[in-house]
Amino acid sequence: MTTEKTKTALPGTAAESDAATPAQKPATEPATITTAQRRTESDAAETRESAETYTIARESGKTASTSGTTSGPTTTAEAGTSTATVPTTDRRQKVFDWLDSHGIAYTWYEHPEAPTIEIARRYWRDDGSKHCKNLFFRNCIPPTPTPPRHYLVAFDCEQNLAIHDLERRLRQGKLSFASEQRMERWLGLRPGSVSPFGLINDPEHHVHLFLDRNLERFPAYSFHPNDNRATVVVSRSEFLRYLAAVGNTYEFIELY
């Protein structure tokens, strides 16, 4: 950044005399902030914010000793049918509309807000589906013009994964939780409602999905429909159809 110098007239001296006398440099020149420094400071701020944003995600690793009763209605959406008459939030309805328009069959039920696994267990139904933890990461790269990549990781809710173990398994460099702003930007989601259904909000197919290979042995999965006051149950085959239709890259890998 170039600093513009300003002429200063000494006491009792005409300002025109500055033309013959070079202006003295100030004792301390304003610091020049480079693009790299700005990016580093921005990343540091995001890291601090991520620690707060993902307290919920870390708390989801706790194991509840009991599960409560279920509540709320169950709505079944056959392939190609509409759920537009169901009163839901905009985020939830967007998921239902997308699944309906692509002929993806699913069922869903409502429950109180459940931002963590510990809370959600109270409302899960005994329907044979596997519930998942879903975490959103970014890779931390040195300051360069290349933007960081973002990764959604879905795995068995009964498992706990340390971020250093994920770095070793995913081989995408150093990872950190993505900020709330990045989550909104790339998945259209808020903390506590992260789900693979957020990929419908990523038309650029920027986010890569990593799936726990152990999920392949379950007949169905349960995810929030981008709203933690409801749960969508989808069969494995229909979920794979969803992934093919949404278009983001994904892979099943060994995570533990």
pLDDT in tens, 150-186: 999 999 999 988 888 888 888 888 888 888 999 999 9
Among candidate residues 175, 242, 182, 224, the one with its CA nearest the CA of residue 206: 182
Q: What does the pLDDT average to over 219-231?
A: 96
Residue 135: pLDDT band (50, 70, 90) is very high
Give me the count of residues in the chain: 256
Q: What gap in Å lies between CA 229 and CA 206, rounded to an integer?
A: 27
Q: In the prediction, which pLDDT does 20 show?
A: 41
Among candidate residues 234, 142, 228, 145, the one with its CA nearest the CA of residue 189: 228
Q: What does the pLDDT average to over 80-97?
A: 65
> Residue 122 pLDDT more than 70?
yes
For residues 212 and 154, the answer to whether their CB atoms sit within 8 Å is yes
> Residue 76 pLDDT more than 60?
no
- The reported pTM is 0.66
Q: In the prediction, which pLDDT does 27 show?
A: 42
pLDDT above 70 as % of the chain = 63
> Residue 57 pLDDT more than 90?
no
Backbone angles phi, psi at 123, to 5 degrees: -115, 0
Q: What gap in Å lies between CA 61 and CA 56, rounded to an integer?
A: 9
Cα dist from 29 to 5, 8, 9, 173, whole Å: 10, 16, 19, 38
Q: What gap in Å lies between CA 36 and CA 186, rounded to an integer?
A: 23
For residues 134 and 152, the answer to whether their CB atoms sit within 8 Å is yes
The mean of the pLDDT values for the chain is 74
> What six digits make up the tokens of 207?
């986010």
> Residue 220 pLDDT more than 70?
yes
Q: What gap in Å lies between CA 249 and CA 205, rounded to an integer?
A: 7
> Residue 60 pLDDT more than 60?
no
127's CB contacts (< 8 A; 6+ apart) are: 107, 220, 222, 233
Across 29-33, 141-145, 146-150, 155-159, the highest mean pLDDT is recorded for 155-159
- Sign (positive or negative) of CA dihedral 67, 70, 76, 77: negative
Q: What gap in Å lies between CA 19 and CA 133, rounded to an integer?
A: 70
